[in-house]
């Protein structure tokens, strides 16, 4: 959250104060089906140059499919997608020259070293030999991979692979980058490193479309967030706009006895009450600070309900979904699964 001001400055410098920023990515009415299953059901959004857009949604929402269409790996059934004004279907070769893609699974050659992976992809982007070498050195430095650069990738840890994978997609400094769940499965430390790198990229003027299942990640990195579910956009806006709708912080109470849970739900009857029977938790949007906390606890105490713990937390993807659709991500996606990736 702390970096947003810096980033806005940087993007303003790029496009100039008074010139409206152009759209680096434009998507209109994108539809894609696999046999009977409609994976994308009319998606529209635009990403301004030098900004980050997060596609937020659960598994099977259509995030990866969208990224695959934008990176020319898939053809849409209908609709249009433009990268810097170029059609991803008709001008696919030109589009490929200006995008970088980092997928959910590290797309690296296991038997080659870090340097060899970077050199190979650099040359396939058709850069000059000296540029490939120079960029490789810079990227290894930037991603803290210099020491491991002469080892085969199969000896790398998960975090190192993800970093190298991102480095490889940056070798040609493409103006538009797609990051498909860049931090899924990473430990917290590697995740923070990735966030730092992504922020640096944006501050240098790169346009980024990232997908995530994590509200917190979208909040940290994105200028705009598009919430998608079942192939449809269900909400869109800046992080602040979304938070106004879903509340910025939640008070979560864990009830000690499962038998008290239904009673507790009645007692804490506030707007935007979310609950999870399995974990015996209730959560409400915080408003009144200490007063609200005291009130809720004394109400529960009056009803003779024992409270196990109390905490404040930021909203999760489930909270977003409960607020926007009235059901959790699991319920809404029982029958739609991601098509096989590959």
Partner 1 sequence: MAKPSFSSDIQKEKHSKVFWALSDSWVLTKRSIKHITRNLDQLFSVALFPMMFFLLFRYVFGGAIDTGNISYVNFLVAGIFVQMLAFGANYTTMNLAIDLQRGIVNRFRSLPITRSSLLTGHVAADLVRNMISGLIVIGVSFLVGFQPVAGPTDWMLVFGLAILFSLAISWISAIMGLLVKSIEAAQWTGFIVIFPLTFVSGAFVPTDTMPEALRLFAENQPLTHVIDAIRGLLVGTPIGNSGWLAFAWCTGIIVVAMPVATWLFRRQTLR
* Footprint of partner 1 (CB under 8 A): 68, 71-75, 93-94, 96-99, 101, 103-109, 111-112, 116, 120-121, 123-128, 131, 135, 138-139, 141-142, 152, 168-170, 172-175, 200-201, 203-206, 342
Which of 312, 316, 313 is closest to 217 using CA atoms? 316
Please report how close the Cβ of residue 188 comes to partner 1 at its closest, in angstroms: 20
With respect to partner 1, which residue has the nearer C-beta, 88 or 251?
Answer: 88
End-to-end CA distance of the chain: 34
Q: Phi and psi at residue 169, in whole multiples of 5°?
A: -75, -10
**Which residue, 32 or 274, has its beta carbon nearer to partner 1?**
32
Neighbours of 141 (CB within 10 A): 12
* Nearest distance in Å: CB 163, partner 1: 13
| Nearer Cβ to partner 1 (56/170) | 170
To partner 1, the closest distance from the beta carbon of 257 in angstroms equals 47
* Distance in Å, CB of 75 to partner 1, minimum: 5
Q: Which is nearer to partner 1, 105 or 261 (CB)?
A: 105
Within 8 A by CB and 6+ apart from 215, the residues are 56, 314, 315, 316, 317, 319, 320
Q: Which is nearer to partner 1, 66 or 203 (CB)?
A: 203
Cβ neighbours of residue 173 closer than 8 Å, sequence gap 6 or more: 135, 206
In this structure, how many other beta carbons lie within 10 angstroms of the beta carbon of residue 332? Answer: 20
Q: Tell the smallest beta-carbon distance from residue 58 to partner 1 (Å).
A: 21
Write down the residue that tokens 């070769």 correspond to: 93
Q: Is 17 exposed, middle or buried (0-12, 13-18, 19+ CB in 10 A)?
A: exposed
Residue with smaller CB distance to partner 1, 72 or 281: 72
Q: How far apart are CA 27 and CA 15, in angstroms?
A: 21
Distance of closest approach, residue 105 Cβ to partner 1, in angstroms: 4
Residue appearing with tokens 């590290």: 106
Q: Which is nearer to partner 1, 82 or 320 (CB)?
A: 82
What is the H or E stretch that residue 190 is in?
A: helix 188-203
Q: Please, what is the minimum distance in Å from the beta carbon of residue 175 to partner 1?
A: 5
d(CA 43, CA 77): 12
Q: How far apart are CA 188 and CA 214, in angstroms?
A: 13
Length of the chain, in residues: 342
| Distance in Å, CB of 217 to partner 1, minimum | 20
Non-local (6+) Cβ contacts of 223 within 8 A are 4, 7, 48, 51, 52, 53, 238
State in angstroms the smallest separation of the CB of 303 from partner 1: 53
- Nearer Cβ to partner 1 (68/250): 68
User: 73 or 307, CB closer to partner 1?
Assistant: 73
Of the candidates 46, 7, 24, 53, the one whose C-alpha atom is nearest the C-alpha of residue 176 is: 24
């Amino acid at each position: 959250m702390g970096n947003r001001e810096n980033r806005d400055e940087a993007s303003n410098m790029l496009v100039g104060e008074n010139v409206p920023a152009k759209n680096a990515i434009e998507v209109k009415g994108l539809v894609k089906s696999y046999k009977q299953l409609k994976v994308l059901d009319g998606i529209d959004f635009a990403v301004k140059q030098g900004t980050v857009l997060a596609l937020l949604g659960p598994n099977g929402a259509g995030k990866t499919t969208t990224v695959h269409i934008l990176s020319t790996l898939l053809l849409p059934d209908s609709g249009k997608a433009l990268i810097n004004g170029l059609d991803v279907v008709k001008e696919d070769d030109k589009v490929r020259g200006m995008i970088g893609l980092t997928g959910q699974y590290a797309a690296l050659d296991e038997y080659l070293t870090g340097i060899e992976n970077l050199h190979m992809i650099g040359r396939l982007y058709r850069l000059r030999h000296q540029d490939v070498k120079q960029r490789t050195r810079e990227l290894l430095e930037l991603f803290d991979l210099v020491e491991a650069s002469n080892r085969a990738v199969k000896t790398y840890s998960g975090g190192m692979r993800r970093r190298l994978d991102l480095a490889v997609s940056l070798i040609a400094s493409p103006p538009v980058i797609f990051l498909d769940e860049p931090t899924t499965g990473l430990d917290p430390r590697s995740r923070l490193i990735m966030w730092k790198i992504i922020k640096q990229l944006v501050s240098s003027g790169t346009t980024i479309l990232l997908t995530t299942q994590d509200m917190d990640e979208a909040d940290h990195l994105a200028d705009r967030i598009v919430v998608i579910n079942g192939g449809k956009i269900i909400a869109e806006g800046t992080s602040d706009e979304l938070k106004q709708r879903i509340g910025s912080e939640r008070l979560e109470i864990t009830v000690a006895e499962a038998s008290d849970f239904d009673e507790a739900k009645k007692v804490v009857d506030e707007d935007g009450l979310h609950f999870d029977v399995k974990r015996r938790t209730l959560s409400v949007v915080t408003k009144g600070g200490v007063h609200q906390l005291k009130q809720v606890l004394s109400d529960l105490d009056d009803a003779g309900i024992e409270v196990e713990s109390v905490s404040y937390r930021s909203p999760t993807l489930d909270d977003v979904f409960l607020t926007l659709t009235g059901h959790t991500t699991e319920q809404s996606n029982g029958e739609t699964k991601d098509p096989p990736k590959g």
